[in-house]
Every structure is written in structure tokens, then in C-alpha cells.
């Protein structure tokens, strides 16, 4: 069956509008609880959240829904999404639940789930939940109701986990680092991780009020980090998003390094330490320069659909460990089961400290190709996929670029838009080629 509520990353929307309402979230938790009880007599779920004011309301609804189905609940409080994945596995829980809308503004919120192994759940599992939602609830009797408790040291356990992914032989002493928590889930945790590894830490975006998550700070607004790094005379800046699963890095000069560059750095660092890297997964949007550079190092490269969920799928399919997106979702599956902004930042800093070189020096042999992205708004009912002039123009551009560039045309998943992207070694050529393709849709 087609999923009605679940998207590519759980269920997300504007609070107070379907499906992000307390009555639906209660029914959702009850349905999930019933699904869990088909496999396990006494399930336990962990619930973590970011700092949105709506998190209190949705947490209560989830708790009630799970308890009503006879499922025990452990509340983690505000912790990063990857912390929920880790703690679900470490606590031997049946399921992990995250209340977050990631990099979206505070008025949005969402629910996503992790399996007992700390991994994203399958489409089939989500379809089973949606089928159960269509059934009448089955309330357990009073003696069988679930109970709720709080894991008071959840943040401390996750901090120790993050630190364990950094080499025991290295330290961050001597580095001054600006940490931007996006007023989100890592606001307390992120500064402590870097401080406890020896860095001098200056924090911004670490004063949430329930309404300011991602507002002008964090990985989606790196200009705040760039300025803070310059003002503080810091060596590096680390920006996370609202749920701390994506990363942006800035160096002392104010240069911003995106996820594509950081992915290549992780590959290069492992090769320098004589670790095997059989293959790497990017997405359809991964910069061509990164693909070329990785292949030149003798490493296979594959592209997945846009979205860390799809990168994960290809990694599991091929048995590889490293993957990511330009947005800063990076995956190192020998360190964690899911994307983790803090763990990824530590992998980057480990490469810097271990090599004795700056980030710019480590990435000196790779220059990203210019990309031009044009969003074309379509009229209702327009069949862009059957529009032959579009494909004729795209073919002409591909012939012009040859192996020095590429064309990507895809629909937006959220708006009536077609995204036309052209990548080439020359920025002007990329711009002109993208415009020539987009013009066929106007």
C-alpha cells in the first residue's frame, strides 16, 4: 500500500495541522505499540526530542499512546537524533522515537523512528503501522498499561559515546573551536564533547527558548558561524542543525566546507592510515569533482537518491561504510548506525590533528565544480516528463559537456517545481547550460 503519513524521514508537518496534532500522535503511538506487541510481549520505547516548544505536547501524546497499548516508555529529554539511535541500541530497547523537524523552523515538528539496532525502519514496517492506524484502538486493561520513567543520564551516556569515536591517542588541546548548536537538541551536549576532548570552546546557538531553533544559526545558516570564528580568532567552527544529524565546518579564514568535501576528507584520511575503503556512496547531487577524486584514489563510488535514508540503503546493499550528502549528512557506519553531526565533526578534527595539517591543506587537491541549480515552477497538470524539448536541450548540454560536467533534472518532493542542475568545470558554462534547459519549460 502507498504510505499516506510517512515521508522519506518519518512524519513531519506544521504543528496544529494534520498530522502533527496531539490526537493523531496519540493514535500513532498506540498503533506503533500494537505493532511492537505482535513481536514482543513487553516492549520498551525510548523517546527523545529537540528544543521546540511543541515537543512537550507531542511527548505527552506519544507517552499516553504507548502506555495505552501496554508499552513502557523511557524519556530521554532533549538529545540529538543520533543519540536516540545510540541509546536505543545501548539500552536494548524495542524502538527509538525522535520528536523533531530537523532543520525546519520551530512551527514545524515531526516523529521518526529507529529500530532496536538503531537503524531506520523499512517501508514495510511503516506500511504496517499505517494499516494499524485504520483499525479501531485496542486499549489494554489497567493492569497491563505501560509505565514511564526518565533516563536522567541520557546526555552523559551519549557524550561518552561521541568521545569514544575519537582516537585515544589524540587530543584537541591547542584548538579553539566555535560550536553552533542551532538552539537545538545538542545545545548542552555539543560544547561538552569538544571541551572534554581538550578544545577551548566558544558556543553560539546554544540558548534555546522553544521558538528560536535554527533561527539565523546552525548548519542551515552558517554565516553566523563564519562571523563568530573570525570574531573569536578560532581555528575552526562546527555548526549542527536542529537535531544535530548534519554538519558544516568553517576554518579560520572563514571558508565553509560542505558535506561533499568532508566526505572526501574522511575517505582520504582513512586511506592515509592504510584502512581499506572499498566504496563510497554519495547522492545524485554530490559534486562531480568528489566522484572523480575518489575514483582516482582507487575507490568505487555510487550515487543514491537525495536523502540520507537512500544513502544508507545503498551502503547496506553494497556492504560499504562511508557515505553522505553535500548538506552535511555524513555516514560512517563503523562509528554509528546513522548520520551524526558530532561524530562526523570528530572524524574531521581527528584527520586534522592526526595529520598536523589544516583542513584547507588536506583538501588542497580537490576543487569543487561549479553547480547551477534553477527551480522552474510548473503550471497545474504540466507533463514535464513528456516534454520533448526539455530532453532535447538536456541531451545537447550533455553532448557539449562530455565527461567535464553533468545534467540532473528532477522534481521537487514538496513543491510543484522541476529542479534543473548543471555542473561544469566552468561556472559561466554551467549557468548558460542550465538556463538553456530551463527555458524549454517556460
Provide the 3-class DSSP secondary structure of residue 395.
helix
Active site residue 60: no
Q: How, if at all, do strands 279-283 and 256-257 pair?
A: unpaired
φ, ψ (nearest 5 deg) of residue 113:
-125, 150
Please answer whether residues 141 and 88 qualify as being in contact, where contact means their C-beta atoms are separated by less than 8 angstroms: no
Give the active site residue among 64, 94, 100, 102: 102
Active site residues: 102
Amino acid at each position: 500500500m502507498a504510505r499516506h503519513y510517512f515521508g522519506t524521514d518519518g512524519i513531519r508537518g506544521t504543528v496544529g495541522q494534520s498530522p502533527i496534532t496531539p490526537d493523531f500522535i496519540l493514535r500513532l503511538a498506540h498503533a506503533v505499540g500494537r505493532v511492537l506487541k505482535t513481536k514482543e510481549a513487553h516492549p520498551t520505547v525510548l523517546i527523545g526530542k529537540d528544543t521546540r516548544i511543541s515537543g512537550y505536547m507531542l511527548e505527552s501524546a506519544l507517552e499516553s499512546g504507548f502506555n495505552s497499548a501496554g508499552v513502557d516508555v523511557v524519556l530521554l529529554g532533549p538529545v540529538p537524533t543520533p543519540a536516540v539511535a545510540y541509546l536505543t541500541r545501548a539500552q536494548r530497547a524495542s524502538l527509538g522515537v525522535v520528536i523533531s523537524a530537523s532543520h525546519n523552523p520551530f512551527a514545524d515538528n515531526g516523529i521518526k523512528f529507529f529500530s532496536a539496532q538503531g537503524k531506520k525502519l523499512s517501508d514495510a514496517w511503516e506500511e504496517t503501522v499505517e494499516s494499524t492506524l485504520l483499525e479501531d484502538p485496542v486499549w489494554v486493561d489497567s493492569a497491563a498499561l505501560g509505565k514511564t520513567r526518565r533516563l536522567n543520564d541520557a546526555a552523559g551516556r551519549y557524550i561518552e559515546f561521541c568521545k569514544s569515536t575519537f582516537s585515544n591517542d589524540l587530543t584537541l588541546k591547542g584548538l579553539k573551536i566555535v560550536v553552533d548548536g542551532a538552539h537545538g537538541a545538542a545545545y548542552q551536549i555539543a560544547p561538552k564533547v569538544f571541551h572534554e576532548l581538550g578544545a577551548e570552546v566558544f558556543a553560539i546557538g546554544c540558548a534555546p527558548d522553544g521558538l528560536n531553533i535554527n533561527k539565523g544559526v546552525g548548519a542551515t545558516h552558517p554565516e553566523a558561524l563564519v562571523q563568530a570564528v573570525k570574531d573569536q580568532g578560532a581555528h575552526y567552527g562546527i555548526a549542527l542543525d536542529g537535531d544535530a544529524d548534519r554538519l558544516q565546518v568553517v576554518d579560520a579564514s572563514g571558508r565553509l566546507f560542505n558535506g561533499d568535501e568532508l566526505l572526501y576528507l574522511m575517505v582520504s584520511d582513512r586511506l592515509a592510515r592504510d584502512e581499506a575503503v572499498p566504496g563510497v556512496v554519495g547522492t545524485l547531487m554530490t559534486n562531480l569533482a568528489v566522484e572523480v577524486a575518489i575514483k582516482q584514489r582507487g575507490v568505487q563510488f555510487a550515487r543514491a537518491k537525495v536523502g540520507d535514508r537512500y544513502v544508507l540503503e545503498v551502503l547496506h546493499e553494497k556492504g560499504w561504510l562511508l557515505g553522505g550528502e553535500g548538506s552535511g549528512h555524513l555516514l560512517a557506519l563503523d562509528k554509528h548506525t546513522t548520520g551524526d553531526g558530532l561524530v562526523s565533526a570528530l572524524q574531521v578534527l581527528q584527520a586534522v590533528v592526526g595529520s598536523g595539517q589544516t583542513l584547507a591543506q588536506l583538501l588542497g587537491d580537490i576543487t569543487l565544480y561549479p553547480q547551477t541549480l534553477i527551480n522552474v515552477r510548473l503550471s497545474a497538470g504540466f507533463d514535464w516528463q513528456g516534454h520533448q524539448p526539455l530532453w532535447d536541450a538536456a541531451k545537447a548540454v550533455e553532448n557539449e559537456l562530455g565527461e567535464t560536467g553533468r545534467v540532473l533534472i528532477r522534481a521537487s518532493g514538496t513543491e510543484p517545481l522541476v529542479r534543473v542542475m548543471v555542473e561544469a568545470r566552468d561556472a559561466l558554462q554551467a549557468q548558460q547550460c542550465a538556463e538553456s534547459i530551463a527555458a524549454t519549460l517556460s
